[in-house]
Structure 1
Amino acid sequence: MELELRHLKTIRAIADAGSLTRAATDLGVAQPALSAQLKRIERALGGTLFERGRHGVRATALGELVLERARVVLPAVTELQQEAARFARTPRATACFRLGGTHGPLLGALVDRLADAVPDARVTTCTSWSERELAGWLAEGRLDFALAGTCGSASPPGAEDLVWREVAVDPVFVMLAAGHPLARRAELDLAELAGEEWACVPGDGCFGDCFTAACARSGFTPRRMYETDTAALVHLVRVGRAVGMCRATFPDTPGVVTRPLVGTPLTWRHLLGWHAVAQRDSTVATVLARARMAHAGVAVGNDSYTTWLSAHRAPAPPALP
Structure 2
Amino acid sequence: MKVAIYGQNYANENNQVAFETLLDELKAHEVEIYVEAQFLKLQKEVLHNDWSFGIFTSLDNSYDLLISIGGDGTILRAITYVKDLDINIVGINTGRLGFLATIQTNEIKDALAEILKGDYKISERSLLSVDIDPENKDVKTTNFALNEITISRKNTTSMITVETHLDDEYLTSYWADGLILATPTGSTGYSLSCGGPVISPEASSFVLTPIAPHNLNARPLVITDKTDVKLKVSGRENQFLLSLDSRIITLPNTATVRIKKADFKIKMVELNSESFLDTLRKKMLWGEDRRN
TM above 0.5, yes or no, is no
Q: The TM-score by the shorter chain falls in which range?
A: under 0.3
Higher helix share: 1
Instruction: Tell me the TM-score normalized by structure 1.
Output: 0.26
Higher strand share: 2
Instruction: Tell me the TM-score normalized by structure 2.
Output: 0.28
